[in-house]
Amino acid sequence: MNLILSESRRLRFFTFTMLYLAQGFPFGLVNTALPAYLAERGESAVAIASFIAIANLPWSFKLLAGPFMDRWTFLAMGRRRPWVIFAQSCMVLTGFAFAFFPSGLENIAVLSALCFLLNVFGASQDVAVDGMAIDVLPVEEHGRANAFMAFGQVAGISISTAVSAFVVINFGMPGIATLLCFAFGLILSVAIAVRERPGERMLPWSSGEASQRSIDMKPESWKIIGIDLARVMFLPASLFIFGAAFIFRFAYGVWISLVPIVVVQDLGFESTQYSTFISGVGFVAAMAGLVLGLVIDSKGIKFFYGLVLGLYGVLCIFICLTESLWISPTFLICVGIVQAFIYQGGFISFIASCMKLCWQKVSATQFAIYMAGANIGLSMGAGAYAALEGSLAANQIFLLLGLIFFIGVGVVWLTDFNLHDKKIQTLASNELAGDFAPHG
């Protein structure tokens, strides 16, 4: 049976959901289960925040992978799919490497190094998957597709958070290795089974050939990639969305560093309780998020993105003003549920807005730059919390987060997606007319 992404909407939605689920697995382990475990073990706030910042650093530099994926690939297997398979295979191998460090949980430096390596290949897979999505998804499917992709990532985060929290405590590093190898190997089989366009090879030794569209889209030199990228990245909408992505993820980096400290160390909840709750509400929010794609398509990305950032700001300020209620489990549960739903809306609109701005010729690099800005923000947010923790009280940090989110609302409001579309069309038309032909 031929499973061709360009010919089946259902297959596209299923495949990208599964590939994003693979991206969620490292996040659940690295950003929730392990920080909660370290907090329960008594590690300092600075040590935990530093672990999160170091482990997430590869996501800040994944833009380095984009130009290679735009410039070089094995076109007979598709523009992006060879890179997806390569990165997914490396994630399996890295998961296997955890088994070689049975005492790694007791050594935060070793744990940071392994999680850093895992995210190197996770970030590379993300660049390839996003580039493939931009290539094969029709514009009218962006909202719904991003809802499914966001569901996949949050489902991966939720499953990983719940399962890895149990595995970390009961089976240690060998258990983590088994979990990661099984999950990543299963999703690797999906990447191998599908093809981007008719006539392409399933594997290097299979029969098939590159599609004419893939051949036409392949840039001829690094110079052309650089010129095209500069033209699109310095358009006003690109700059505004880059800034909004940085702001959103910076604030979230502070959030994921601050909340485990408050809930586990200050309020005395167990790490497994925290991880299980976060995974549960995250999964429910991801299920609800499947309908958000339709809302985005009808209301528009700009409206929805600004709305969820504003709601995040309101939530943070509300938490700041209700510090006396933090000891109540009911209050914490309500805050956790609301935050999960707001984050899901923010993530979907964040991805959809970046995808909408991409020029297909350099989509892997362009999208990677947007994501790099976001993930630099995440690491810097975690680092900022480590710096602020001794100077500001937790409620003051929540107030600061609220103000940061409101700045993000203003940046999104300045973005004009329609004008950006027109400028992209003009760039493409001028290029066809030969106005931008490289010289020298």
Q: Report the predicted TM-score, pTM, of the whole model to 2 decimal places.
A: 0.72
DSSP code of 438? -
Mean pLDDT of the chain: 83
Dump the DSSP string for 50-95: HHHHHHHGGGGSGGGHHHHHHH---GGG-SSHHHHHHHHHHHHHHH
In a domain, 439, yes or no: no
Q: Where residue 399 falls among pLDDT bands split at 50, 70, 90?
A: very high
pLDDT surpassing 90 at residue 384: no
pLDDT score, position 438:
42
Q: Tell which wins on pLDDT, 328 or 239.
A: 239
Please answer whether residues 365 and 246 qualify as being in contact, where contact means their C-beta atoms are separated by less than 8 angstroms.
Answer: no
pLDDT (mean) for 405-423? 89
Task: Decide: 5 and 135 in contact? Cβ < 8 Å.
Answer: no
Q: Is-contact 354 367, C-beta < 8 A?
A: yes
Chain centre distance of CA 13: 17
What are the two backbone dihedrals, phi and then psi, of residue 4, each rounded to the nearest 5 degrees?
-110, 120
Give the residue from 388, 387, 284 showing the smallest Cα distance to 341.
284
Could you list the residue range(s) of the whole structural domain that residue 326 is in? Answer: 5-432
Per-residue model confidence as pLDDT tens digits over 416-440 = 888 888 888 887 676 655 554 443 3
pLDDT interval class at 375 (50, 70, 90): confident
Question: Would you say 9 and 138 are in contact if contact means Cβ atoms under 8 Å apart?
Answer: no
CA distance linking residue 311 with residue 277, whole number of Å: 21
- Total domains, the chain: 1
Q: What pLDDT is attached to residue 227?
A: 84
Residue 437 lies in a domain: no
141-175: per-residue pLDDT in tens?
777 787 888 788 878 887 888 788 888 888 888 99
Task: Quote the percentage of the chain above a pLDDT of 70.
Answer: 93
- pLDDT top residue among 150 and 252: 252
Q: The domain that contains 179 carries what CATH number?
A: 1.20.1250.20
List the structure tokens of 428: 């493409």
The answer on pLDDT for 36 being more than 70 is: yes
Q: pLDDT by residue (tens digit) across 94-115?
A: 999 999 988 778 888 899 999 9
For 256-342, where are the E strands, in sequence order? none
Any domain includes 113: yes
Asked, for residue 180, whether it belongs to a domain, the answer is yes
Classify residue 384: in a domain, yes or no. yes
DSSP 195: B
Give the pLDDT confidence score for residue 299 in this predicted structure. Answer: 63
Question: For residue 361, is it within any domain?
Answer: yes
pLDDT of amino acid 282: 75
The structure tokens listed for 381 are 């947010």
CA dist 119 → 54, 92, 131, 351, 430 (Å): 10, 12, 18, 19, 39
Q: Which residues of 248-283 are buried (b: 16+ CB within 10 A; e: fewer)?
A: bbbbbbbbbbbbbbbbbbeeebebbebbbbbbbbbb
Residues 6+ apart with CB under 8 A from 398: 258, 316, 317, 319, 320
Taking only the tens place, the pLDDT of each residue in 302-341 is: 888 899 899 999 999 999 999 888 888 888 888 888 888 8
